[in-house]
Structure 1
Amino acid sequence: MHVTKPVGRVAAVKKYDILSALMAHGLAGEPGLQRLVFRLMSLITTRYNWQRNELVTGQREIARLWCVDERTVKRDMARLRGLGWVVVKRQGARGRVSVLGLDLERILTDTRPSWPNIGEDYVLRMSQDVKTAPAAGNVVPFRRTETPVAGGGPDLWGRVCAQLLAEDPSSFDAWFKALVEVGQGEGVLHLAAPSRFHANYLRMHLLGRLQSALTRVDPTMHGIHIDAP
């Protein structure tokens, strides 16, 4: 999927279209998702730089905007990263906050089933602006239909998948479902990711969750290694 950047004379319309997609997706979901989407939309409308695709604000400021504590901010921002909607462009250091960005292609892919709730004119307009492109380079082929859900299978990775799916279906579908077991040895489970970007993201942000699920399924296993193409 390729998304035309919301810049130029039609920038305002495209921005509203993206926010509308999020709104429709949230309203069609359960209360927890509605709250998460509303909080993301508040950050987009108050702090997001559309031209540079940057969101630069600290957890304390976000907590004040959301009227919650910083622990809630950490939890919900982790959920947004797990969905792939928010990405870390530059990690914070020495008192500087992290520079975040939005994966608009991922957001529009996930919200597409809710577009008809807005109207046929919206679906037609968005279908013209958003076109499918072949995966290349470091684009992650999310929701690959040829990859079966391994949950409940007799193999180790199948049982780990069942654990991950039960804990967080959205993160499972976005990040774990495409992984393939390639072997085991000396207490380490070896998995293959569909792209280098996918593997790097898992190593940086979700390796702890993978290892925790693995340990719960088989306490004799103590590590996970993720290979990239």
Structure 2
Amino acid sequence: MQLPRPVGREAASRKYDILSALMAFALAQDKHAQRQVLRIMALITTRYNWQRDELTMGQGEIAKLWSVDERTVKREMAKLRALGWMVLKRQGARGRVSVYGLDLGRMMEDTRPVWPHIGQDFIARVAPAESGAGEGASNVVPLRAAPQPAADGTLWAGAQARLHGEDAAVYGAWFHPLTEVGMEEGSLTLAAPTRFHARYVEQHLRERLLAALRAVEPSVRSVSVIA
């Protein structure tokens, strides 16, 4: 699947689609995650240079925009980098602010579970090949291919293979980063890279995850995701 790059004659509508995906994603989260997504949307709409993929803004300016202190800015920017949504392109030094880029492909990949909430017309625009709308434009940013699960014979590996077969993109975005912590009395514990990631899987993908585990091992009673 491919994501049209937000440049050219259709740039405005493509930017709108990216912001729509973020908005729908935020509305499906708890209040803490909603605030996190709202903050990056504020940066995108006020200071992000779409053509150059650059966000140049000092911590003091961001603090004013977000109505927080600079310590909060530092902490939240680190969380956004951990999510893979924001990338440090050039470290600030000698009075110059840091320059960030945005991984728009990763953002869209992570918001994909809520695309149907927006509508089939939205899916047709951002993923024409999936909707049957034909080939996309040549000016595109490819989303990351879902990595193949390890075939080591373990319960988690078997469940991963099933999840990959059901939806490779969702698997790559949400299930592949999970690692097995341990199994105790029929309850499997998995670890996510961030609390945001763990919270999303618990709230929106837990039933799918549990079904895949039980398909491999029917004795599994429950699954929990921690960070």
Fold equivalence (TM over 0.5): yes
Q: Deviations over 1:151-189 (max 9, x none)?
A: 2379xxxxxx96x6496252899xxxxxxxxxxxxxxxx
Once the two structures are superposed, residues 81-113 of structure 1 have per-residue CA deviations (whole angstroms, 9 ceiling, x without a partner) of: 010000001111111111100001100000010
Residue among 182, 191, 194 paired with 1:152 = 182
How far did 1:150 drift?
1.8
In structure 2, distance between residues paired with 1:4 and 1:68: 34
Matches within 5 A, 1:1-229: 1-128=1-128, 129=136, 134=145, 142-143=172-173, 149-152=179-182, 165=192, 168=195, 170=197
What's the secondary structure of 1:94's corresponding residue?
Answer: coil
Consecutive unaligned residues of structure 1, counting only runs of 5 or more, are 155-160, 174-212, 214-229
What is the root-mean-square deviation of aligned Cα atoms in Å?
3.1
- In structure 1, how many angstroms separate the alpha carbons of the residues matched to 2:106 and 2:183? 29
Distance across 2 between alignment mates of 1:146 and 1:76: 24
Distance 1:22 1:144 in 2: 16
Question: Could you say if the C-alpha distance between residues 22 and 46 of structure 1 is closer, same or farther in structure 2, counting changes exceeding 3 Å?
Answer: same
C-alpha displacement of 1:146: 6.5
Structure 2 CA distance for partners of 1:88 and 1:148, relative to 1, 3 Å: closer
Which SS does the other structure have where 1:68 is aligned? coil
State how far apart, in whole Å, the 1-side matches of 2:55 and 2:112 are.
Answer: 24
Deviating above 6 A after TM superposition, structure 1's stretches of 4 or more consecutive aligned residues are none
Query: What is the one-letter code of the residue matched to 1:152?
Result: G
Distance in 2, matches of 1:110 and 1:165, equals: 14
CA contact (8 A) 1:165 1:172 kept: no
Would you say how many aligned residue pairs link Structure 1 and Structure 2?
A: 163
Say if 1:171 and 1:61 are closer, same or farther in 2 by CA, change over 3 A: farther
SS of the residue 1:13 aligns to: helix
Contact persistence 1:21–1:114 (CA under 8 A): yes
Report if the CA contact (8 A) 1:6-1:14 is conserved.
yes
Q: Which amino acid aligns with 2:87?
A: V
What does the per-residue CA deviation read over 1:118-143, in whole Å, with 9 as the maximum and x for residues that have no partner? Answer: 1121122211157667589xxxx954
SS of aligned partner of 2:51: coil
> Runs of 5+ in structure 2 lacking a partner?
129-135, 148-170, 201-226
